[in-house]
Structure 1
């Protein structure tokens, strides 16, 4: 006999500290869930505050306002008749916890604090919250007086418990707990919990989604049960983009999946599940039955006298369980096209901006940035065509368009909000200038083409008058320091011009009530890691969509976009030699990025991964690459490349402290803000590690191995 229950989970585009906006999106999700017949609704982690409040969580106002919003939600009759699982911070006995609040018909059933906190990579939850280190323990929680008036309750249960209805048992785990070796869902399932909710604030990284979904499917495959995964979506005020993909799984199979990248602020995912399938699945596995009978973990049940399944004594043929479906994954190229685009849209509409300004150099990095903006415009036009009123309102506001205007054409919308500029000098080639202009025409951006030689000459002349010395390029006989300074003058002046044009171009165009444009940077993650950029040059901007994406992935993205967006001009960017064009071009010399860096972009990606993800210092990195790169390279060549990488990484580490805030998309990002916490003053020679590397090289070459006294302290 079937036992059917309709359940709902959701993606919500919450914004840190936007209490009323977050409240309204929660209410909208509850409304949609009820309209679809759901009896249980679960939302993202910390959905009332927004996940990314960071040190604002330390302010008492945040807990106060959370309770005020929560009270407004559960007292509305429209939110009754459905079991609600809502997330917010709670102060219990003067300790701050990251909690789930479960309620029904305006009454709080219990509060479940998060047990295992995310505290690595981009996450610092233990800076703001304390984990509930008492598994299976439940205490009394005194509700705030204002909430007592709303619910008519004085105390509720607080701790590690589950909910027992008349027809099933429900437990909650939160985000990181899914990723731990002993996840709560294991002991919950062995104690008879049939429906498990997971509320997350999980961010996007390239190729990461499969790990998250594999864990969910593996959990329900081994343990059986219904698993509801909810996630935040959007840029809630920082470098991360939370990529949604709400999911409902039953016994290791997906029955409903939300979108990963989307401009909808509220997306509700529902499914009708058969609890008899869960019971049969579990009962058929003898080893599971033995473990369940022997488990020592017994959860306190919060009993509520209601059934989640609709009461109907007769068979209803219109209510059927949701069918199993295939999981949908985006390719990495699609992730690059969509993730940063959605992040930029959130950033633009929430900062009250007028649009973007991009220095378009004719190289692949600024090209990729421009194409991502184009992708954003495509998403806006698509959502507007589907009737997304919030997107239409935001598009009108950003573009300063009249109330009857609709974004129906991608190039037209790009022309309103996207501004590009080629800032040429005598070192620029006609090819890069031409590519920039053609790309702008294809995308539809408002384009400016200028030469800045007079500006560069004026600065050099000023220096000459002040010092009596005139720097010249190395190719004409100058020193390395002269050569570098002349390149940096051009790069830094481009940054000054970028902000000048970003502030004044809307005024030039006569756009009414316009503010300045957001300046976009376009330094990729490999250049940031190597420090192959000038401090405070045109890589210094307001935001950088590609700062967490490797050169290798950007090239694949451009190849994809060339076909997907029907832009053959992109092939010219793809085939061009990467060059900064800051040195004179002669018949014998054209500046090349990879020659300047002394390593390829592919090698940089490997160095970056080993340094950050594999936690390798110079010596351990050398040993790994010695096995991977020989015999293609000799041990001495591998050693030289590793030493060179760490030298330039170390001397340029200070640049990471002022990097433009970038979309986080790669595990080996060198972003100094929380993610990659390393000093910016390091001995670039790594002397002891270098000696150990030299010892191994000598051994490989059959030479006398220099002795290193590892026990010496003299």
Structure 2
């Protein structure tokens, strides 16, 4: 399943000190998780006895009942393909330890004692439990079998490698999970009994998110439920499943119990981040711990895929988050151009204004730069260059934007110059081929460059990341500029940026920006229709940018194979969402996936000589940092895989 693993956090109903009742509730939760296809399940700390037993932990009856309940759970789950992590107290070498028992198919694979024992404020655990780090043996007898015991255990089931820590362990300066992940653990299970107080839930969420990000792992945190509440303490049953900093799943109620959370996490995604992030490997060399690797059989993926795959991975789904992200990105673009202009001493920014999305965003950036520097907006020179395919709609929008924003306006039609050029090179102007189109793009770039030379200005590039990925730009045409503000902004994000920035504009500018957003994407290089309508639409030729941006994200960010990207795309575009009506058949996705890979490989030479531009996210195609690819690399392996998917 392309590296996906299904994790479950289970908070059962509990009766403090009633091991048999708790056993039945645990088995009920295991059964539910098994029906969902969970491969790893974690339960709260000391879940077999209950966390709040206090001095009852000294009672032989309780301790023996806990072991017996563990044995019955093991027996009842011997036919399940599931790694089960349970909490219980265990006597080892005449001391009592707060432990996690790890079960697989009816056997205890190992026992992990709690490393750090809290003994402050409301916690008195040292009254009952010894430090797991002080344990002097590596093996114990449990349920009649010799079982590995210690804080150094790593449970390996194929590519799945699970480390275990308990509650307080993750609150320490150097949690056991930090060392276990350096040893290769890609999933950490934390059995916890964290009582609830005001603001602790948010702190706990940040703690788990940060630990999963710092260790590049999936982190399953499961805490004791509301039925543990007694005397002075209230427990909430707060559970989280995080993956490299992102909270994938979390229970919704503040006070909760008797539930199972199931989520899919991506081991390959984590692996790719570890490969790319060289600091992870460097840390392993310095701090690689000695661990004992406990082998279990590979667990097969079962059940329905639970992952939520965003259709627009570059664009946050929530409107509030999206606006904040767009404001931040816009600020980065502004800062980049501001530095270039101030460094070169140039107070003129030259931009080709087409009335399309990309040039509109570049114009908004330039205007903001001049405002921030206290320069007259007239230093921004907008040049509209109508050609054979320019429609009245884009032409009027270009003029309206320049007029309302108060910049210097210039209009230089290019038709006559292009016809002269056709005559010079012997090209029939009635043949609307690539020469016909690119002549116009290069003529526009020549005009912009020469206007910049006239006034000591700089040409601000407008092309975006998606166009660069597809090579949908004219070499030495719109491909070239003196500083490219949109170079790492994908097309789907350009649209959101323009919409967000429109909210701070005057009503007239905002209305024009909204019409630009509503205009189909087109280079407008082919003649218009009889009634002046736009006939050339980019997405009809190269495919939907929504799909291409999706492909691009998973290709560059994680290096996924075409088959995995295809699976993710099928999942993402399987159902309608509130803001997106367009769905794509599997055949359509495959068609454009093939186009994407073919164009991505063949057009690298254009990316090898990109102008400077600000990096704004994790995906960038600059050859000076983020993407170094041979211009003549062969795409046959990737295209062959896509062909196999078509069969």
Normalised by the length of structure 2, the TM-score is 0.48
Normalised by the length of structure 1, the TM-score is 0.43
Larger Rg: 2
